[in-house]
C-alpha cells in the first residue's frame, strides 16, 4: 500500500509538466517598434523639398510657386517637379514682402532637396519731384538745379528681371540736338543685395559713365552724371545693369533721363 501511494503522488507531481493550457504553446507577440513621423507624400511626378527662408528684418511674407509659404523665419515642405536625368536642377522664384520695405525676389534651386534663401530688404523710398516732371521720383541732382537751358525728359525702354551673371539692358533715344549742361538718370526697381550691381550708361558717341559699382547704397534713385556735361545728347543711350554675384536678384521697373541743354 505504501508503494502504491508513492507512485500516485509522483504521477500527480508530473501531470502539470505534461499537460497545461494550449494557449501557452503560442509564440509571444513581436516587439513593438517606433514609427517615423509622417512625411507629406508628393503628388505623382513630383518630389518634396524643404524650403528654409529668412529675411532681414524678419516677419516678411514669402510667396513661392504661387502659394503663400508663411512669414520669416520659416521652414516648410513643398512639392516640385521631379528632376529629369541629365537636366540641371530647376530654378524657382520666391518673393518677400514687408510693409515699409521694398519687395524682393530671389531665384534659387534645390540642393540635396533643400532650398535655403535669405533676403536683405531695403527700406521703401518716398518719391520726390525733380526737374520739370513731377511724376518722376528721386533726389535733386547737384548742379542740375542751377541750369537755365531747355530740359528734355526721355523715358528709357527695356529693363526687367535682374539675376545672377546676367546684364539687364535698356535704351533711350534723344531726338533733339542738345549740348548737355546737366544730365540726371532716374532708376526705379529693387534688388535684394545692392553690392551685386554694377551699372553703366553709354552715350551715343561711345563714352561710358559709371552709375554704381557695388557697395551698400541703393542704386534705384536719381543720379547726376556730371561727366556728360559738354557732350552731344542726340542719339541712342544705353543702360546696362550687371549682377556679378550669386543668390540675390531684383528687377528694373523703369528708367529715364532728364537732360538740360546749354
Residue with cell 540675390: 248
Residues 229 and 174 in one domain: yes
pLDDT at 218: 92
Residues 74 and 178 in one domain: no
Residues 215 and 112 occupy one common structural domain: no
Looking at the domain assignment, is residue 104 inside a domain?
Answer: yes
Residues 225 and 183 in one domain: yes
Contacts of 197 (CB under 8 A, 6+ apart): 162, 191, 212, 214, 219, 241, 242, 243, 244
Q: Residue 113: inside a domain, yes or no?
A: yes
Query: What stretches of the chain show up as alpha helix (H) in DSSP?
Result: 2-18
Residues in the chain: 262
Q: Between β-strands 61-64 and 67-71, what pairing exists: parallel, antiparallel or unpaired?
A: antiparallel
Whether residue 100 sits in one domain with residue 186: no
Judge whether 71 and 61 are in contact, CB under 8 Å: yes
pLDDT in tens, 76-101: 998 888 877 777 777 888 888 888 78
pLDDT value, residue 149 = 67
3-state secondary structure of 6: helix
Check residue 4 and give its pLDDT: 53
- Matching residue, cell 503560442: 26
CA–CA separation, 260 and 186 (whole Å): 14
Range of the domain at 170: 142-261
- 112/170 same-domain check: no
Q: Which residues of the chain have pLDDT under 50?
A: 5-9, 11-20, 33-37, 126-147
Residue 40 maps to a domain? no
Q: Give the angle 105-108-111 at the CA atoms, nearest 5°.
A: 160
The closest alpha carbon to 94, from 54, 114, 65, belongs to: 65
In a domain, 193, yes or no: yes
Q: Does residue 257 sit in the same domain as residue 153?
A: yes
Does residue 91 share a domain with residue 178? no
pLDDT score at 136: 32
Cα–Cα distance for residue pair 241/201, rounded to 1 Å: 9
CATH of the domain at 82: 2.60.40
Whether residue 210 is contained in a domain is answered as yes
**What domain count does the chain have?**
2
Q: Could you tell me if 172 and 109 lie in one domain?
A: no
For residue 191, what is the domain's CATH number?
A: 2.60.120.260
Domain end marker among 56, 87, 120: 120
160 and 245 co-located in one domain: yes
| Shared-domain flag, residues 93 and 147 | no
Same domain, 166 and 229: yes
How confident is the model at residue 39, as a pLDDT?
Answer: 52
Residue 136 located in a structural domain:
no
Amino acid at each position: 500500500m505504501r508503494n502504491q501511494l508513492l507512485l500516485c503522488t509522483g504521477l500527480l507531481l508530473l501531470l502539470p509538466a505534461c499537460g497545461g493550457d494550449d494557449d501557452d504553446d503560442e509564440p509571444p507577440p513581436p516587439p513593438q517598434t517606433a514609427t517615423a513621423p509622417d512625411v507629406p507624400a508628393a503628388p505623382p511626378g513630383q518630389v518634396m523639398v524643404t524650403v528654409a527662408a529668412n529675411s532681414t528684418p524678419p516677419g516678411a511674407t514669402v510667396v513661392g510657386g504661387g502659394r503663400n509659404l508663411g512669414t520669416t523665419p520659416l521652414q516648410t515642405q513643398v512639392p516640385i517637379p521631379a528632376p529629369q536625368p541629365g537636366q540641371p536642377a530647376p530654378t524657382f522664384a520666391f518673393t518677400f514682402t514687408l510693409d515699409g520695405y521694398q519687395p524682393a525676389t530671389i531665384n534659387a534651386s534645390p540642393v540635396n532637396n533643400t532650398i535655403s534663401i535669405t533676403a536683405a530688404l531695403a527700406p521703401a523710398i518716398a518719391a520726390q519731384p525733380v526737374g520739370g516732371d513731377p511724376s518722376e521720383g528721386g533726389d535733386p541732382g547737384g548742379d542740375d538745379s542751377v541750369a537755365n537751358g531747355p530740359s528734355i525728359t526721355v523715358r528709357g525702354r527695356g529693363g526687367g528681371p535682374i539675376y545672377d551673371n546676367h546684364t539687364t539692358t535698356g535704351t533711350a533715344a534723344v531726338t533733339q540736338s542738345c549740348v548737355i549742361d546737366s544730365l540726371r538718370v532716374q532708376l526705379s526697381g529693387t534688388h535684394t543685395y545692392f553690392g551685386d550691381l554694377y551699372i553703366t550708361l553709354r552715350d551715343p558717341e561711345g563714352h561710358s559713365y559709371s552709375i554704381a559699382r557695388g557697395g551698400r547704397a541703393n542704386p534705384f534713385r536719381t543720379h547726376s552724371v556730371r561727366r556728360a556735361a559738354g557732350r552731344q545728347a542726340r542719339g541712342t543711350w544705353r543702360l546696362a545693369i550687371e549682377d556679378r554675384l550669386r543668390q540675390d536678384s531684383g528687377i528694373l521697373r523703369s528708367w529715364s533721363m532728364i537732360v538740360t541743354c546749354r
